[in-house]
Structure 1
Amino acid sequence: MTSSQALGLVKNELGDYEFIVAIVIWYEVLFTVNLLSKSLQTKDMLIDVAIEKVQGLISFFERYRETGFLQALEMAKGIALELDIGAKFPEKREIKRKKQFDENPDDTSIATQSAEESFRINYFIPLVEQAIFSLKSRFEQYKGYQNFFGFLFTSETLQSLDNDSLRSSCDYLESSIMDRKPGIDADEDRKSDIDAKELYIELKLLQDFMPKENMGLAEVLNFLKRHGCFPNASIAYRVLLTIPVTVASAERSFSKLKLLKSYMRTTMTQQRLNDLAIIALESEVSEKIDYENIIEDFISKNTKRMMLFK
């Protein structure tokens, strides 16, 4: 029975031209998403670069929605030819509708769709639309970061602002990172990490003080550290650089938790769990540590240990 079911699945489903087209489409979608996902998980990924990559992927899917189906058909025809499969969509039985008494017998207003066009409308278009919608909804928060910190992304963007645009951007940034305590009205005690007026003066001076070549976020922050006279600007750039691009590192931390705190380690303290988690997450660093000096230092702090290991 199992052999018969497998044979029927291969002949009727996996060996079908429609299935090959679907596989080609899914490969294009998942391959491009995987490239972006791996790129966003790199340790040196910055949020301005991440925004550009996500917008580029959305633009790719919008173009793919218009032209991708024909490209998938061409690729699927080549695969079907190699596998000796007919490159044709299976024709479905036409459902005949009972005509009403007041309809014209020659009425052809309801046009029948071909199997290929039906597959494009009912399968390809919804799949690509769902990919575009998922990207836009998942990375919606990036737009908020771009509205708050967009004028700080590059030195070229900062130097291109006039006085009014720079002042309004500083005011907006101060209000966006302002600490709003629950139960306190908007006009009452609220604190912000930066002062908009002082930040405006610092950035105004920084526009003429920075080199003319375009610098990224990390380069601008290193430039500010070398001079040490831009406290508000340094805070703004540090906040921007600490915004997480993805939650991949946090997810990996939770996956390590089950390996560290098992049922046999239920009495483990929080400090020990934190230490073990750091060692597990930073395994590349821990493998380079010379443990002999650490062991000797540990033994030397207790007389009984020194006698035991002599």
Structure 2
Amino acid sequence: MSMKLNEYLSQAGSPQALASLCLCLAEAGKAIATLIAQGALKGVTEKMHSTNVQGETQMQVDILSHELALAQMVLSGVVAGVLSEEVDLPVWLDAADAPFLVSMDPLDGSSNLAINGVVGSIFSVLPNLGASGDDAAFLQPGSAQLAAMYLMYGPATLLVLTVGKGTQVFTLASESGDFVLTQSDVQIAADTSEFAINASNQRYWQPAMQRYVDECLQGVDGPRGRDFNMRWCASMVMDVHRILSRGGVFLYPRDCKQPVRAGRLRLLYEANPMSLLVTQAGGGSINGEQDVLSLQPEQCHQRVPVLLGAKNEIERLREYHRQA
């Protein structure tokens, strides 16, 4: 018998409040999936004149996805505050004593909708340590996360979750509206011959990354002694899901293209939840030398470099950074 999301959460021993929140986030995912499926028919792919806190032009669907997810967290009754890519400051809900804080990227890779590409939503769940109303309450290391989840909206709608007991993949059954477990306890192979990186930034990379990619590109004739393939989807959700599905490494390294933004990915609602999902599946995640999950956040919208995936490759990259 196929296991539904609520049944898995019960079996995993998740506290009732956390299970309730995960189910509400799943409902938000269903609503967002329905929204983006309408595409240009409802104008959801149109760009707006506004920008988010990162200075990126927003699309109507970014704002609508934020609102749909926020509404579900209000309904849950267990969330005190929400940090979103789409607003400058955390949103504090009328539930100061609620046990959780949530950081989210409501629609990762939304620009891909212009070409009918895959997009997703990313959520990170932290404990509410009693500092409701203080934005610094979100500045907890990734190791403090109680759960991490992303939804991927493609040919099928997938929900990938960890509550600290491995990484699980659920698929939305269109007939019943249930998320059903389709891959349990995902494991990322420690070795790989596939890497994902935006090679157009090569000239801006640090020496350690230059060395790593150059060795991969030399293939069987180089020091690695085997050929590598390169993939790049320009959607973190899709790139990370490929790694969970068939291995590899996802590389968004530090560079000098824009020194004030040497890292590109947001620590609290992209790097941390994805790193927890990957490490729970046996992979690794670093910013160069340090484990991403050990980083102490300094700002709510802080950006960091992220290298994650196959453990042996990540350790090689760590060593190259130490030697540089």
- Which structure's CA Rg is the greater one? 1
What's the TM-score bracket when you normalise by the shorter of the two chains? Answer: under 0.3
Greater strand percent: which structure? 2
What TM-score, normalized to structure 1? 0.21
> TM-score, normalised to structure 2's length?
0.20
